[in-house]
Structure 1
Amino acid sequence: MASAAFESTGSEPEVRTAAGALRGTVDAGVAVFRGIPFAEPPVGALRFAAPQPVRGWDGVRPAVAYGPPPPQAGHFGMDALSRDAAGADWLTVNVWSPEPRPGAGLAVMVWIQGGAYSIGMSSLPEYDGARLARDGGLVMVTFNYRVGIEGFAHLDGAPANRGLLDQVAALEWVRDNIRAFGGDPGRVTVFGESAGGGSVAALLAMPCAAGLFRRAIAQSVPGTFFSPALAADIAAACAAELGLRPTVADLSTVAPNELSAAGDAVAAKSASFAERWGQPAHRSIAFAPVVDGDVLPVTPWQALADGAGRDIDLIVGHTRDEQRLFTVIEGLLGQVTQEQAETALRLFAPGPDGARRYRDAFPAAGPDELYELVNSDWLFRMPSLHLATAQITGGGRAHVYELTWPAPGMGGVFGACHGLDVPLVFGNLSSGQPAVLIGESPSPAAEGLSADLRTAWTAFAAHGDPGWPAYDVEHRLTRLFDTRPTVTAYPEETSRLLWQGQSFPALPLLGHAEM
C-alpha cells in the first residue's frame, strides 16, 4: 500500500491514497471526500465482469461531488436519476472524517444501502454520513454497487453476484486506504438495511470477504436468496424481453437503461411466472444474491450456523411493522380482503399447515393483520431473528433489536414500518424520503430516538458493545427502540414459535431438480 499523508490547503482537506491525491471539502464540521473511484468503470469490455482495480492518477483529484449512480430500476423514479447522471464511474466511495490524518485510529462504519437489489445509490440525502461521523467520532463510508441485471442477473459468461463483489472491492479499498482518512482498518463495521442487510448477511458467508470487517449490523434482513436455476430462469425472462439470450455476449450490446427497463417489465408481470418462481414472483422480487457455491457457497444462515461469523460481533434486528410500508404503497391499508389474507397465508406461512397455525395463533386478527403479519415474518422478521440464532449456534455473539416506534408522518399510517430505522440511524430526519415518514419538522421524540440509535450503533462500532446484553436462546433479550428504552424478551414470541425449526434455503426453480 502506498504511504498516506494528510495535507490541508485552507478549508480544503487533502489526503493521499494508494491511487493518488484527493481534495475534499468541509461540511458540518467534518472533512468530506465524495466520488472516489474504488474500481474501474464496469462498462465496455469490463461490463458484467468482476470489479477491476482502479488506475491511479497524477496531481490532485477533486473529490467534491458524488459519482454517478449505477443503472436503476424504475421504482420511486430512481431510473430517471441514473439516466440524468453523466459518466460511467458507477463504482465510487464517499468518506466523512472528523480527523482525516494517518494515525488517528478512528473506528470505521461502512454503509450498504438497500433497494431490493434493483435500486440504490449512495448520493441520496438520507445517506449523508456527516452526523454519524461527527457525533460518533468515527469515519463514515458509503459507496455505490451494481444493482438489477448489471449486478445480480445470473448470466452465462459472467461471475455470479457482481453486486456483492463490488461490495467486497469497496471494503478492500477501505482496508488499503482508510488510514489516510483517520480510520483504523482493523476496526471496520459494515452495516446495511433491507437489501443492504441481506448484503451484510451475504458478506458474512463469503470467503472473499473474510477479514475485511470486524463487526456487522444487519437491519431488516430479507430471506430471499436464489438458487442458480431460479436466478438463471429470471435472467432468461429479462433477456427475452429484448429478444436476446441471457449471455454476456448478447446483453453487452444493450444500453444499461434499456436493460433496467427490461428488468422492470419482468418484475411488473412476475406473478405470471409464479408456477416456476414461487414466492418471489408473488412479491415481484426479481433479483437477490445467488447461492452459487463459489462467491456465495451457502446461505448466510447455514454459514453462520457452521461458525463463519464466530469472530464477528453482530447486531441484527427488524422493525415491528415491516410490511406496512408496502401495504400503504400498494393502496391496501384497511382494504385487505379475507381472500387476500388467505392467499398470503397459503403462500408464505411455514409448513404444510402454516395457514391454520397462523389463524389459531392470532385468533383475534382480521384479514389486514394476518396479511401484514405473515408478509412481515416471511420476508424480514423471521430471517433476521434466525440469523441471530444461527450466529449463536455457530459459537458467535449477536445482539437483537426491534424498532417499535410508530412513524408520525401522514397521520401515523406507517407504524414502525420497513425503512424507518434508516433516517433514525443516520440522523437525517427531514432530508429526502424520510420526511414522508417522520414529517417536515421532526419532533423531540424523533430526535431523541435517533440519538439513541446513533449512540448504540457508533458505540458498537467503536467497542463492540451497543448498550444491551447479547441475545441467547434461553432469555432472548432484545432491545426495543421506542421513546422509552426497554430491554425485554423477544416481543414477537408467537411468530417465533410458528417459525421455530424453519430454515431459509436458497429459493428453488419450481419443478426443477436443483444440482
Structure 2
Amino acid sequence: MTGRTPAPEIRTTSGTVRGRVADGMAVFRGIPFAQPPVGPLHLAPPAPALPWDGVREALSFGPTPPQSLGLGFGSGPESPSDSDEWLTVNVWSPDPSGSARLPVMVWIYGGAFLVGSSDGPTYDGTALARRGTVVVTFNHRVGAEGYGHFEGAVPNRALLDQVAALEWVRDNIAGFGGDPGRVTVFGESAGAGAIAALLAMPRAAGLFHRAVAQSVPGTVFSPALAADVGASVAGELGLPATRDALAPVSPKALRDAADAVLGKITQYGARWGRIAHAHLPFAPVVDGEVLPRSPWEALRAGRSRDIELIAGHTRDEARLFTVMAGRYGKVTQEEADTTLARFAPGREGAAAYRAGHPEADPTTMQDLVMSDWLFRMPSLHLAEAHAMSGGTTYTYELAWGAPALGGVLGACHGLDVPLVFGTLRGGIATMVLGAEPPAEAVAVSEAMGSAWTAFAAHGDPGWARYRTEGRLTRVFAAEPHTVPYPHETSRHIWAQHAFSALELSQDADPVPSV
C-alpha cells in the first residue's frame, strides 16, 4: 500500500498555511501578504495582512487586481472571484523543511504597468524550483490603482506593494526552505522597470541582494506629468484628482476611467509627448520620496552598487507589437519617419538612424527605433550606470528567434519569459513557440534557466562581467556566446541620453512635414 505524501504545512507571521505537493514541489498559492486595498484602504499603502486562526488552505491563486481592458494584446484576465484579496504570494519549494536555506527567486510580472497577475502557466515556478531554488510570485496593483498619481494619495502604490511582498519574503521564506540572505528579484518589461525603481528606493534597501532586469522600459514620470494623467482619469468620472474624491470610487470604475483615457490617449500628445503615442499612461513616478530620483541617475550615483545585477533585452523587442497590430511589412515611409521624429533622441539621432541603417525598410526602421527607445537602450544604460559606479554587472541579449508565424516574430518582446521559467507549453509559449517547442527552444531555455539560477545561488551566471571598456555581453542563441555589445550604432546614438523623468510637454508634435 503506497502512502500519500502529506500536505505541507508552514507557519507564517500571519498564521499556518497548507499547500500541496505537485511534480515533486511543495506549492503554496494565494497567501495574503497585505490586506485587500479597498474600502478605507483604497488608494492607500499596503497594510499588513490580518492574522488568522487554524490552518488556511493555500491551494488556489489569489484573485487578480483590476486589469485594463483597453490594452488589446496582453490584456489581463478578469478574475472570476468577487474577492478583493488581490495582494497574495505563491511559493514553490523543493525542500519546505525549513533547513535547506536555498536561494530565493522573486518574480515581478510585466504588463505595461496596466495589466498583470501571477497566475497562469507561464509563471509556474516548478522548473526553476527544480534547479534548487525557492520561487516566489505575487500580485501587485497595476494601472490607476497602482500608479495613478492623485493629490493626497501616496504615490507608487504598486512599488510599495512590491516592497511589502519582499518584506513578507524576508520574514517568512526561511520556513519554506529559502535563505532570506540570498534573495534575487527578477522581472520582465514593466516588472523590470519596477526592479529598476526598487534599486533606487530607500524603502527597498536590504530586501534583495541580486536582481535580473529583463527588457527594462525607459519610462518614469515626473510628478507634473503623472498628475496630469491622473487629472484626466478623474475627469472621466467628473471628479477632482484627489484621494478624498476618488477613494469611494470602486476599483473597477477607476479602471474603466483609465481605460477611457487610454482609448483616446493620442489626443494628449501635445501635453504628454512620447507616452501618449506609445499608449503608456502609467509608470513609476519620481515623486522625491518613495522614488527619490530616476533609476539611471540613482545607479550612476552609486545607489545599490552592492547588489549584483543582470540587465538585458531581446534583439527584436518591438516586433511583437508590430505583428500583433497587423502592421508587419506594411509600415509606410511616412509612418517610419514619424516614429523617428517622435522617439529618436533628437534630429541628430533620427539622422544617425538613417545613416547607420541605409538599407532598412520602413517596418525594420520603426521596429528598431521603438525597440531601442522602449527597452534596449534603457536596459543597456541601467547596466552601464551600475557598472560605472562599481557594481557587479552582467548583460545579455536574447537573439534566438521564435519559430511561430513563420518566424516573423524574431527574438521578440516577452520571448525570454517562458524560456527563463522553462514553461514551454501553454500561455504565451504556445503563441511564440508553437504547440510543440522545438529542440532549440529547449536548449536556449536550459541555458537561460541555468544561468539565472546560478546567479541567484552565487552571483555568477557563467559569463564575463560587463565593463564599460569591453562591454562583454552574453548572446543567447542556438549556440550561446559572449561578444562585445552587439548594437554599437544604437549605443552611440543614445550615448548622451539620460533617461530622466519624463515631463509635461509644451512642444508641438515633432512629426516631419510631408
* Aligned pair partner of 1:241 in 230, 236, 239: 236
Instruction: Assess if the C-alpha contact under 8 Å between 2:63 and 2:79 holds in 1.
Output: no
Partner SS, residue 117 of structure 2: coil
**Aligned partner of residue 35 in structure 1, secondary structure:** strand
CA distance in 2, matches of 1:42, 1:441: 41
Q: Of 9, 18, 22, which aligns to 1:23?
A: 18
For residues 243 and 476 of structure 2, what CA distance do their matches in structure 1 show?
46
2:5 and 2:254 map into 1 onto residues whose CA distance is: 45
8 A contact 2:8–2:26 mirrored in 1: yes
Does the alignment pair 1:226 with 2:221?
A: yes
Moved over 6 A (4+): 77-80
C-alpha contact 2:186 2:192 (8 A) present in aligned 1:
yes
SS at 1:378 equivalent:
helix
Contact 1:83 1:257 in 2 (8 A): no
Structure 2 counterpart of 1:130? 126
Q: Percent identity?
A: 58
TM-score by length of 1: 0.96
1:290-439 counterparts in 2 under 5 A?
290-439=285-434
Match of 2:61 in 1: 66
2:283 to 282, 288, 293: 288
Q: Following the alignment from structure 1 to structure 2, what is the Cα–Cα distance between the partners of residues 177 and 435?
A: 35
8 Å Cα contact 1:271-1:282 kept in structure 2: yes
Matched pairs, number: 504
Structure 2 alignment gaps of length 5 or more: 508-514
> Per the alignment, in what secondary structure is the counterpart of residue 186 of structure 2?
strand
The CA deviation at 1:55 is 1.3
Which residue of the other structure, out of 79, 84, 87, is the alignment partner of 2:83? 87
- State the distance in 2 between where 1:253 and 1:208 align: 28
Counterpart in the other structure of 1:488:
483
Cα distance between partner residues in 2 of 1:80 and 1:243: 26
Report the Cα distance in structure 2 between the residues aligned to 1:332 and 1:90, rounded to whole angstroms.
36
Show the counterpart of 1:4: none
Matched, 1:140 2:135: yes
Q: Which amino acid aligns with 2:179?
A: D
Cα distance change, pair 350–78 in 1 and its aligned pair in 2 (3 A):
closer
- Comparing 44-53 with 260-269, greater Cα deviation is found at 260-269
Measured on the aligned residues, the alpha-carbon RMSD in Å equals 1.4
> Which piece of structure 1 moves more, 321-330 or 67-76?
67-76
How many Å separate the matches in 2 of 1:261 and 1:103?
47
Counterparts of 2:80 and 2:99 in 1: how far apart (Å)? 40
Alignment partner of 1:97 is 2:93: yes
Displacement, 1:10?
4.2
| Equivalent residues of 2:225, 2:504 under 8 A apart | yes
Counterpart of 2:109? Answer: 113
CA contact (8 A) 1:72 1:78 kept: no
SS in 2 for 1:58: coil
SS across alignment from 1:125:
coil
**How many Å apart are 1:246 and its aligned residue?**
1.4
Query: Could you say which residue in structure 2 is the equivalent of 1:5?
Result: none
1:506 to 497, 501, 508: 501
Match among 156, 161, 164 for residue 161 of structure 1: 156
- 8 A Cα contact 2:30 2:60, kept in partner: yes
**8 Å CA contact 2:218, 2:499 repeated in 1:** yes
Distance in structure 2 (CA, Å) of the matches to 1:49 and 1:252: 9
Tell me the CA shift for residue 77 of structure 1. 8.0
Please state how far the C-alpha of 1:253 moved relative to its aligned partner: 2.4
Q: What CA distance in whole angstroms lies between the structure 2 residues aligned with 1:239 and 1:28?
A: 47
Distance 1:396 1:432 in 2: 36
Report the Cα distance in structure 1 between the residues aligned to 2:124 and 2:65, rounded to whole angstroms. 18
CA contact (8 A) 2:73 2:324 kept: no
What is the match of residue 266 of structure 2?
A: 271
- Contact 1:68–1:89, Cα closer than 8 Å, also in 2: yes
Tell me which of 194, 209, 212 is aligned to 2:207: 212
**1:92–1:348 CA distance, 2 compared to 1 (3 A):** same
| Aligned 8 A contact 1:101 1:179 in 2 | no
Letter in 1 for 2:348: D
Displacement, 1:398?
Answer: 0.7
Which 10-residue stretch deviates more, 500-509 or 68-77?
A: 68-77
